[in-house]
Structure 1
Amino acid sequence: MKISINKKLLLSFISIILISLLITGITSTLMIDKRFNLYLLEEHKEKIENIKSMIHSAIKKNQVSPDFDKEGLTKYAVAENYIIKITDLNNNIIYTTGMYPHMGHQKNGHMMGPMMERMFKNMFQSYNEDIYPIIYDNKEIGKLTIGYFGTSNISKEAMSFKLTLYKSILISSFMAIIISALISILISRQLGIPIREITKASKAIKEGHLSIRTNIGTNIHEISELSSSINNLAHTLEKQEALRNRLTSDMAHEIRTPLTTIKSHIEAFMDGIWQPTPERLRDCYDEINRLHSLVENLEDINKLDKANYVLNKSYFRIDEELKRIVNSLIPQFNKKNIKLNLNSKVKTEVFMDRDKFKQIMYNLLSNAFKYSHENSIVNISCYTENEYLYIIVQDFGVGISKKDLPHIFEHLYRGDLSRTRSTGGSGIGLTITKNLVQAHGGTIEAKSDIVNGTVFSIKFLLKKIRTKVSDDAF
């Protein structure tokens, strides 16, 4: 049977507390009891020696008829709860303190009846007697019998102290259990409630409610990190879902237009309304090319999702490669009368994937071509500075809005609909470009505004692209 984390934590805490208190209580009781009994035994021995000393002192003063009362033996025995009997070698009683259960009389002749004996027997667990020889001048002249109750003649005060100590341990343990239970409830709630909220949010995300967020106020680092991760996951999924929906909508619109054009042309040919002239066939061919381009974009998206780029590195001169790329694109840029300017004084041989480098530059220059005005300029600069190689692509065309600029490298992101739709962008080219740059250990940034156009800056660490450091793949 599964139980909630609150109950699990509470039961665990209480079990640990009870076991700890039980072990502590038993250990403390045994240690205190052992030490206390040892103390009482030592004290009992000391008292026995005091009694012997009094007896020897009385005998020394008067061997024939010693006065034990004068030595304070009776008062001491009464004060310390001892029952003392002194006999001669013939077992005749010479002295007794009285109150002796096994005697029928006291020195002063008072009788101790059965009621008194039962009272003493009930008051204490056991009655004990120790017999010691009385030695004087190296001769045994009698016997000393000392009676007491318990193992070491524990007094009422000592017993009361011992019981009070045990009682304090019991009360302390009870209070510790209550306080610990309250703290356990508080801790279990601090852990349980946030985890339940996070679990609830994750279930909602699983069911497609991507707008949900957890708002958990906790000072527990791990739970705070978990909550933040769930929120970031929901935000990323929500954004990706929106991008995919937008891409699907855009692709449907882009595909519908050429299909409608081709269909209308073919229907007109079939109905004899139009003749299949070269111009009209050219229109159909252009629309088919447009569909082909859209399919290639979808293939690029699939490649990016699978992340199956493998770098095939080789040595080549970067300035010569840039010249070849620019020369190959001049005819295309001439269609809009856009001038391509290459400014490169770098004659560095690099160790990179030549085809992937071409793809990086073609993607950036293709963007520059799409969004540049006719009769404008696109500048390409290549230079080294502080152990870095920089490649700059600058156009003076339609800039990127501040709202869209932070997202242009994101997967499937497309900016203004009219802007991207007019150029046929799919929101994948810059993502591929960024990944290829990073695969070579570089970084790419973009600066743009609506008035002055866009600048893309690529930066490579020279020591990483000049030698065979590693064959990175992703």
Structure 2
Amino acid sequence: MRKISIKIGLLFFCLIFTMEVCLFFLLHQKIAHTRIDEELSALVTRGNNHRDVLETYYNAETIQHIALMEVKSDTEVVITNYQGEIIISSTDITNEIRRLINTDKKEIHRNGQVIENDWKSKPYIASVTPFETGLDTGYVYMFKDTSQVKQLIKQLNRHFLIAGIATAIVTAIIILILSRIVARPLIKMKEATKKLSKGNFSIQLENKSNDELGELSDSIQRLANELNHLKTERNEFLASISHELRTPLTYIQGYADVAKRDHLSVSDRVNYLNIIIEEATKLTTLVTELMNLAQLDNNTFTIHKEWFPICDSLKKISKTIMPSFQEAGIKLVFICPKNYKISADPIRFEQILLNLLDNARKYSPRGTVTTVEVEQENSDLRIFIRDSGKGIPSKDLPFIFERFYRVDKSRSRDLGGTGLGLAIVKELIKAHHWEIEVSSEVNKGTTITIIARGE
């Protein structure tokens, strides 16, 4: 048995067994006191019955009959007159019986009362009932040997001991089963966490409960899934970096080797050097974007927010990017009905818009229109970037903001870019505490919505 099931079992057993012992003790005391009270009450009642007979038929034969009846029973009777002289007795008079007979009887009730109830240390329990006839007055004393009461309590104790042992055994079995049932998911979770610590994230925990254990199991499973996803993403990230670095380096090395040949014409050499410069620029851009992502991941990327008119910022962005749209034959339209103010980092805001517009330009055919529209909704600003390009398949939409993720799996370099632009956009949006939404239809276009929360 596993340690945890032993601990849980012992803990449950100690708690339940302690509770059972307390309950059994209280129940035992209650039953024992009830049985003693019943014996004392029966003793008083028997004395009252003898009194009634004496007061109705008081003669020597009646007195003898009462004594004879008690000889055949488990109780004893002693009848005395008012002065305490013994008229008749069904047993030998012992010092204890004499002591009880000589007790003060001034306040004895007509219906009798108990004069000795100490069954643990005294030889008798006893009661006395007064009687009064025309011929005589006196008392009827009833005695019962406490050994009989002790035997009764002893039997009761034996029954309780047997019941207690049986209950403890049944409790232990039930707790053993329950502790294993409770411990089983914990043991599975422990084994799962061991696998996680060793780098094995492909675990599956079955959860059939809605309690805290079920929530813990769900949390571990989610952690495993996230770690597995991160591991896959890391491997893909490293593979992508290797690919993205190797390609420009290969171009640079290859064209550098060609450019240093003596027989090349000046124009060819310049052409090769331009290619080297172009690839070096791409390499610099890639490294810069990787550094930006690293800063964002380490929370060392600072955002300096300030209030500024959004329409003025869009005009500046339009001047920057409009030539590339004109060269691509795509119309770029800005719709800003009112010069709303936005709280943002101006440089990072411009970086977000330029990245998104650059993507729209790359994936839109000539003759189409790309629109940037600003709307206000309560205290929030919504910025819509709509294009009429190739669109994004629904299966790819959840992943477009991942690093190096490309809808075009062939990794064609015709469109340029590093595959990090949208990842940086996502991190910048998060740093501003904004939201970004994407909707798209294949061959119809894509709409990206930035929701800038008001402050």
Q: Which category describes the TM-score, using the shorter chain as reference length?
A: 0.7 to 0.9
Q: Which amino acid aligns with 1:29?
A: H
AA partner of residue 408 (structure 1) = I
* 2:76 corresponds to 1:83: yes
Match of 2:224 in 1: 234
Give the alignment partner of residue 392 of structure 2, picking from 394, 400, 405.
400
1:11-410 maps to which residues of 2 (within 5 A)? 11-51=10-50, 54=53, 61=58, 66-69=60-63, 72-78=65-71, 80-85=73-78, 95-97=88-90, 100=92, 127-128=123-124, 147-150=143-146, 154=149, 166=157, 169-214=160-205, 216-270=206-260, 272-274=262-264, 277-385=269-377, 388-410=380-402
Once the two structures are TM-superposed, the CA of residue 167 in structure 1 deviates from its matched residue by 5.4
Question: Match for 1:223: what amino acid?
Answer: L
Change (3 A) 1:411 1:77: farther
Kept in 1: contact 2:256–2:272 (CA 8 A):
no
1:127, 1:147 within 8 Å by CA — same for their partners in 2? Answer: no
Per-residue deviation, residues 33-76 of structure 1 (Å, max 9, x unmatched):
23332332343234345445655666xx55xxx33347x41354
Distance 1:406 1:52 in 2: 100
What stretches of structure 1 of length at least 5 have no aligned partner? 103-123, 470-474
Q: Is the 8 A contact 1:409 1:434 kept in 2?
A: yes
The question of whether the paired residues in 2 share the 8 Å contact of 1:315 and 1:351 is answered with: yes
CA contact (8 A) 2:128 2:141 kept: yes
Structure 1 position 398, deviation (Å): 3.1
- Report if the CA contact (8 A) 2:40-2:125 is conserved: no
Alpha-carbon distance in 2 for matches of 1:136, 1:36: 31
Worse-superposed segment, 136-145 or 351-360: 136-145
* Structure 1 residue 409 displacement after superposition: 2.6
CA 1:452/1:410 → structure 2, altered by over 3 Å: closer, same or farther?
Answer: same
The answer on whether the counterparts of 1:344 and 1:381 sit within 8 Å (CA) in structure 2 is yes
- Shift in Å at residue 147 of structure 1? 4.9
Structure 1: distance between partners of 2:122 and 2:181: 56
Kindly, what percent of the aligned residue pairs are identical? 27
Question: What secondary structure is seen at the aligned counterpart in 2 of 1:186?
Answer: helix
Asked if the contact 1:131–1:143 (Cα under 8 Å) also holds between the matched residues in 2, the reply is no
Post-superposition offset of 1:32: 2.2
C-alpha contact 2:51 2:129 (8 A) present in aligned 1: no
Return the offset for 1:87. 7.3
SS at match of 1:67: helix
Tell whether the 8 Å contact from 1:411 to 1:427 is kept in structure 2 after alignment.
Answer: yes
- Provide, for residues 277-318 of structure 1, a one-character-per-residue CA deviation record: whole Å limited to 9, x for no partner: 332322221121121112112112212311334432222111
TM-score, L = length of structure 1: 0.77
| Length-normalised TM-score, structure 2 | 0.79
Amino acid at match of 2:248: P
Letter in 1 for 2:203: I
Which residue is equivalent to 2:449?
457
Taking structure 1 as reference, are residues 74 and 429 closer, same or farther at Cα in structure 2, changes over 3 Å only?
same
Amino acid across the alignment from 2:208: T
Distance 1:166 1:177 in 2: 16
Q: CA RMSD in A?
A: 3.8
Q: Distance in 1 between matches of 2:178 and 2:413?
A: 56
Matches within 5 A, 1:436-447: 436-447=428-439
Structure 1 CA distance, aligned partners of 2:125 and 2:222? 84
Corresponding residue of 2:420: 428
Contact persistence 1:243–1:412 (CA under 8 A) = no
Q: Secondary structure at the match of 1:285?
A: helix
CA contact (8 A) 2:47 2:140 kept: no
Partner Cα distance (1:357, 1:8) in 2: 58
